[in-house]
Amino acid sequence: MQGHPPLEHIFWHALNGAHRLWSSGSDTARRYTQGFSPIIAFANPDAPDFAALAPWVVPGEMFYCDGWAGAAPPGWRIDAETTMFRMLWQGPTPDSDPAADARPLAPEHAQQALQLATLCKPGPFGIRTIELGDYFGYFDGEQLIAMAGERMRAPGYCEISGVCTHPDYQGRGLARKLIGKLLRRHQQRGERSFLHVMRTNPAHQLYLDMGFRDYLESTVRVLVAE
């Protein structure tokens, strides 16, 4: 597959680039500010500069980090480790918006979005995550039952993230419609869509069936500051 350098180190590209305003750290290590997705990244993952993060973390905070291996440094512990796929869209542009009836999510929906993400566990999610991009959802009355939106960015690329559907409403194609909406928006803006999915998540096959292709598989760890 043709190389896409920003995707190979996308967490750092986002935290030190498009999302620098919402992150804290140094030129070697950064984290999202509290309230956003609990993610850290390093300029050089082969030699992660954990010491540079010390002024911006407090004991007990939990973070996700990818592309880094080795023993935990002093003051940190590894709580979990697995792998995830970074998938790049290879399909055609949807002919029309398949989720024209979805509602944009606004700050007043942040608590509902966090509750849905906590229930469905699509990945690291915070109360302010929906501020990182455009999020859309389906509602039953005033209850948010499905959502998807944007998170990581690099020039020419935009991530589809936070994809989840309440268990009581699964099987209706709501997530697929929301993904299609975002795909169309990205391609109209001249951006390539990508997403992340854990190796054990059955949604991996859904994304393959839709037209995403595995770009790389990387180690992802859950770290806790002590």
Residues 103 and 198 in one domain: yes
Q: Do 100 and 70 share a structural domain?
A: no
pTM of the full structure:
0.94
Q: Give the total number of structural domains in the chain.
A: 2
Asked whether residue 133 falls in the same domain as residue 21, the answer is no
Is pLDDT at 180 greater than 70 in this prediction? yes
Residues 59, 159 share a domain? no
Has residue 61 been placed in a domain? yes
Q: Looking at residue 185, which CATH number applies to its domain?
A: 3.40.630.30
Q: Domain range holding 181?
A: 86-216
Same-domain check for residues 45 and 122: no
Helix/strand/coil (H/E/C) assignment for every residue in the chain: CCCCHHHHCHHHHHHHHHCHHHEEECCCEEEECECECCEEEECCCCCCCHHHHHHHCCCCCEEEEECCCCCCCCCEEEEEEEEEEEEEECCCCCCCCCCCCCEECCHHHHHHHHHHHHHHCCCCCCCCHHHHCCEEEEEECCEEEEEEEEEEEECCEEEEEEEEECHHHCCCCHHHHHHHHHHHHHHHCCCEEEEEEECCCCHHHHHHHHCEEEEEEEEEEEEEEC
If asked whether residues 22 and 124 sit together in one domain, one would say: no
Q: Is residue 206 part of a domain?
A: yes
Q: Are 60 and 24 within one domain? A: yes
Q: Domain check: are 127 and 193 in the same one? A: yes
Q: Could you tell me if residue 226 is inside a domain?
A: no
Q: Decide if 204 contacts 213 (C-beta within 8 A).
A: no
pLDDT of residue 93: 85
Name the domain boundary from 48, 83, 118: 83
| Mean predicted confidence (pLDDT) in 133-141 | 98
Residue 214 to residue 86: CA distance in whole angstroms: 6
Tell me, yes or no, whether 158 and 207 share the same domain.
yes
Q: What confidence tens digit (pLDDT) does each residue in 61-106 have?
A: 999 999 888 899 999 999 999 999 999 999 998 889 999 999 999 9
